[in-house]
A = this chain, B = another copy of it.
Amino acid sequence: MEFLRVTYRLDGLDGNPAEIEARAEAIAFEQTVEVPRAVAMREPFIAREIVGRVESIERAPDGSHRATIAYPVATTAFDPAQLLGVLFGNSSLHADVQCADFDPPASLCEALAGPRAGIAGLRELTGVRDRALTCTAVKPMGRSPEQLADLLRAFARAGIDVIKDDQGLADHEFCRFEPRVEACLAAAEQVADETGRRALYVPNLIGTPERVFAQLRFAEKRGARAVMVSPMLLGLPTFWELCHRHASVPVLAHPSHAGALRYAPELLFGKLLRLYGADAVIFVGYAGRFGIPRPTCAAIAANLRGAWHGLAPSLPVPGGGIDLADVPEVVRFYGRDAMLLVGGSLQLEPGMLLERSRAFAEAVRDASA
């Protein structure tokens, strides 16, 4: 029998071994049978094939405990939604439990399938093979399609590799999705004709599934070569379906609404999004306005890129307010298989957009050399 192993961080326990064991076992039941122990254990098939079993409990240096529970993988039905329920469904409702890590068996990785393009596919698309990539966003919300296309032209002329929509660009009255995508794709083509280098424009898809799938079809038809969504806004099952049943182009994952989840960031950004199919994962890093610790960022990048039951690696995309001055250090930190996202700060000085964008592109090129 194959097992899905999940590690939970338990807070607020005073170190009494019997109490800790009981707490961990309560999670093992809550996440599978959700009936009193006596009810589940009366039936041999359920006791053997369904109930989670506590495999280990460790005390962490900060006084919390880490309990690892092995769930028979069949409980997940190999379904993208049911998997989340087994990982952290009801137990998420306990304020003292964090989902800290998980280790899916090969069969589950095969079922969810992970990134289709991944790092290799994005390098192929952008033609950038030997250095970290650069990324920025057309924004803010409130600009017209033409104004956003103007911005895109400047970024592309400056040599930025990937230019995405801000995740706040929806199908607004003042800036409709279809004309925006058309204007930005045309602008990227125009600069490619001028310079011989085609920036990758990545439209943001947002809405209910029907709407998102229609936006995807439109974008692909008009020539978009990648798209972005916010998986934790749409829901991870919808994200999986987008990646594996609808998209033929690579998919970038944006972290909007993700911090609302009580998952460890290295699990959510490093493992879950990769397993579900993100080709590149944007996360807020240590440099910028979110203050994520460096070891967490290193773990996210390692999880996205490491060997994992044959899944393609995902491209780590640190963002969240990187200052231009910090770019060289950030490139050294993440290495070449990463894409730096610098957004609003490129627009900071009026009239200096092209210069600041060029400085960003060059800083990454130099630091990767």
Contacts and interface: CB of A to CB of B under 8 A. Distances in A.
Interface stretch (A3-11, A122-130, A168-176, A332-340): A168-176
A258 to B, nearest CB: 7
Nearest to A45: B142
A207 to B, nearest CB: 5
A89 B167 contact: yes
A140 B82 contact: no
A81 B172 CA distance: 13
Contact of A208 (B80, B86, B173, B263): B80
A137 to B, nearest CB: 8
A143 B212 CA distance: 37
Contact of A77 (B139, B173, B260): B173
A89 B233 contact: yes
A347 B36 CA distance: 8
A360 to B, nearest CB: 15
A36 B348 contact: yes
Contacts of A84: 233, 257
Contacts of A50: 140-142
Interface residues of A, number: 83
Contacts of A142: 33, 40, 43, 45-46, 49-50
B257 A88 contact: yes
A255 B172 contact: no
Contacts of A81: 170, 206-208, 211-212, 230, 233-234
A209 interface: yes
Interface stretch (A59-67, A179-187, A235-243): A235-243
A343 interface: yes
A369 interface: no
Interface in A238-263: 238, 240-241, 245, 255-263
B141 A174 contact: no
A368 interface: no
A169 to B, nearest CB: 9
A285 B131 CA distance: 53
Given A140-B40, A167-B85, A238 B257 contact: no
A345 B36 contact: yes
Contacts of A35: 139-140, 343-344, 347
A147 to B, nearest CB: 9
Contacts of A171: 77, 79
Contacts of A93: 255, 258-259, 284, 290, 320
11 contacts: A33-B141, A33-B168, A43-B143, A50-B140, A74-B173, A75-B141, A85-B257, A233-B235, A234-B235, A235-B236, A262-B262
Given A81-B206, A210-B241, A233-B237, 17 more contacts: A33-B141, A33-B344, A35-B343, A35-B347, A39-B140, A39-B344, A77-B171, A79-B171, A81-B170, A82-B206, A85-B170, A88-B260, A89-B233, A93-B320, A95-B259, A259-B262, A260-B263
Interface of A: 26, 32-36, 38-40, 42-43, 45-46, 49-50, 74-75, 77, 79-82, 84-86, 88-95, 99, 139-143, 166-168, 170-174, 206-212, 230, 233-238, 240-241, 245, 255-263, 284, 289-290, 320, 343-345, 347-348, 350
